[in-house]
Structure 1
Amino acid sequence: MTFPQIDPVAFSIGPLSVHWYGLTYLLGFTGAWLLGSWRAGKPGSPFTREQVGDLIFYGAVGVIIGGRLGYGLFYGLDQWLSDPLWIVKLQQGGMSFHGGMLGVLTAFWYFKRKTGKSYFTVADFIVPMVPVGLATGRIGNFINGELWGRPTDVSWGMVFPGDPLQLVRHPSQLYQFAFEGVALFALLWIYSRKPRPAAAVTGLFGIGYGCARIGAEFFREPDAHIGYLVGNWLTMGMLLSVPMIFVGAGLMVWGYRKQGANP
């Protein structure tokens, strides 16, 4: 299958170039804001539409700062140590989901202090919208022709223009779009439509994302400068996702036990 050649620059205004990748981030934040605002208008919502807008803004800041710092820590520590200013050179690319997640969790803590809500009131409300951003981000990766998959002989395999070996590979960005984005969104949205114990929705996100990411890593080519951590299968993405499953399961168990003890 031929990779659809798409100019990574969506449009230019004078010397300013707007990239599709940046637009996919903007689309993800906008989608999360629209869905959150819709839920905020429902009876019994713990937040107003204005508060949702503030929360999405803080979350966006957390994604960008945490994502970049996480990439430097997990995937580019040698480069960061050799060039400390590299971490602020966003135009060179490099974002980590797990770092972005830590940034968002920090944003939840700040918003919780600002509004007086409990931490999981904030987290459980917003995490069903997170897969929207994950989905649009993976589309951005696909348009850029980056983070491609492992070599394959399946009929839908593609040759990515940036691949020096020019091998037919899994379009793993689209797999992640489908499972980390669409499927995880449907799971969390349906589950969170009814009242759930505190931390249960957040816990389900951890389990769902961790499983989806680990599954995708079996098809995704590991970062060239890191490679496999063990044998020919364990990647950094897997290693960082395993704790999410255990923490997520622990949160769900804690939430349901607490609800049972205080019906």
Structure 2
Amino acid sequence: MPEGVTATSLAPLAHDLSLWSLFLQADWVVKSVMVMLLLASVWVWAVVFEKAMAMRRLNKAADAFEDRFWSGGSLDELFEREGDHPTHPIAAVFGAAMREWRRGAAKAAGADVAMSGVQSRAERAMVVTISREMERLERWMVFLATVGSAAPFVGLFGTVWGIMNSFSAIAGMQSTNLAVVAPGIAEALFATAIGLVAAIPATIFYNKISTDLSRYAARLEAFASEFSAILSRQAEDRGA
């Protein structure tokens, strides 16, 4: 042990391993990695809560809309009340189809071929609307996937850098005493821990939210198919 360095003087280093102390004692590169990962973790939870609340709200709105849709009331009245200014995706799908249908029906003058074309345009309008609405709902999903896959490696980079600093300290002090190397190693491992704290929730909730979004997309597609069948019957009635 170098002259002037005693076990007593190293004792505080050996015991001062609180999370805040590890952060303060870390190299600036390791600190940067930690801050970046902590910010990513906070953003992950913000995205998760936003998506969870949004999906709950959308499913509740879809339930209420489908109840009104299948209640036997006038589709034109439902369009005037909700479809013309939709506040949720399933109403937007309905509104897009109804606008195309009403516009085309006004010009068709009862021609069977023309009404078939109107139905086809209404179906395409629903497909485009579903795609647009799902693209909007899937915003920030790439961020969750990126954090889930990259955060452990970013934390590992901080760990490697911290261990390199620990070896430098060992070489400088010419000592392998645990009190000398423990803080640096602890700082390095702390970076990996923060990386996992960011990555694990991101991965879990990415899979959960992706499943919820897939189910909601299937719900929109099922509604579009059912509404298309209704429009098909109306086209046949007009052409009869």
Query: Which range, TM-score by smaller chain?
Result: under 0.3
Provide the TM-score with structure 1 as the length reference.
0.26
User: Whose radius of gyration is greater, 1 or 2?
Assistant: 2
Give 1 or 2: higher strand fraction: 1
